[in-house]
Amino acid sequence: MHLAIDVQYADDAVTTGAVGFASWTDAAPCAEWAHRDPSPPAPYQPGEFFRRELPHAVRAAVIARASHPIDTILVDAHVWLEPGRPGLGAHLFAALGRAVPIIGVAKSAYRGGVAIAVLRGHSRAPLWVSAEGCDPLVAAAHLRTMHGPHRLPTLLVRADHLARGLATPRP
């Protein structure tokens, strides 16, 4: 199973949405979760965005792995910000014992970054893909094949909606 994770935070809580799917072209999830942590997020630290989201992404991966083998995890962030500078995805890869490949899908480029631009649908704005544990070119190809006619694949939007509380996990 592949797992898409998205984390959203407010002043007083953090919500994580996760969507599992079997094939890159799937239109619907085979599993999904949402978890609301009623404590405030870690304080923002410039250049260390991962500190706010990493514990929640790890929790989602651990919960998912308890019931499904995970082949790949997609995060709404960069894996590598620039050569030698890890982003959320690289920190998640290390936290999970380097056992699960991580694909980062970011909506904006990081200056000096190593992400690959991927255009989807009719959008002129690319998504930025980086990876650890798998070839970034293969990761970009997988993103291109994901279901949905728009810039963001259907299942990444679903994970976002679960994290934002705009959807409820289906049993």
| Residues 6 or more apart in contact with residue 154 via CB below 8 angstroms | 27, 146, 147, 148
Average pLDDT, the chain: 95
In percent, the amount of the chain with pLDDT more than 90 equals 89
| Entry pTM | 0.95
Cβ atoms of 33 and 4 within 8 Å: the answer is no
Cβ atoms of 127 and 157 within 8 Å: the answer is no
Question: In CATH, what class is 2-164?
Answer: alpha beta
Mean pLDDT of 149-161: 98
What are the DSSP calls for the chain, one per residue? -EEEEEEEE-SS-EEEEEEEESSTT-SS-SEEEEEEE-SPPPPP-TT-THHHHHHHHHHHHHHHHHHS--SEEEESS-SEEETTEE-HHHHHHHHTTT-S-EEEEESS--TT--PEEE--TT-SSPEEEEEESS-HHHHHHHHHHSS-SSSS-HHHHHHHHHHHTSS----
For the stretch 94-106, pLDDT in tens is: 999 999 999 999 9
Distance, in Å, from the CA atom of 146 to the CA atom of 48, rounded to the nearest integer, reads 29
pLDDT score, position 171:
79
Amino acid at 23: S
For the stretch 50-87, pLDDT in tens is: 889 999 999 999 999 999 999 999 999 999 999 999 99
Residue 46 has pLDDT above 90, yes or no: no
Residue 141 has pLDDT above 80, yes or no: yes
Q: Which residue has the higher pLDDT, 142 or 42?
A: 142
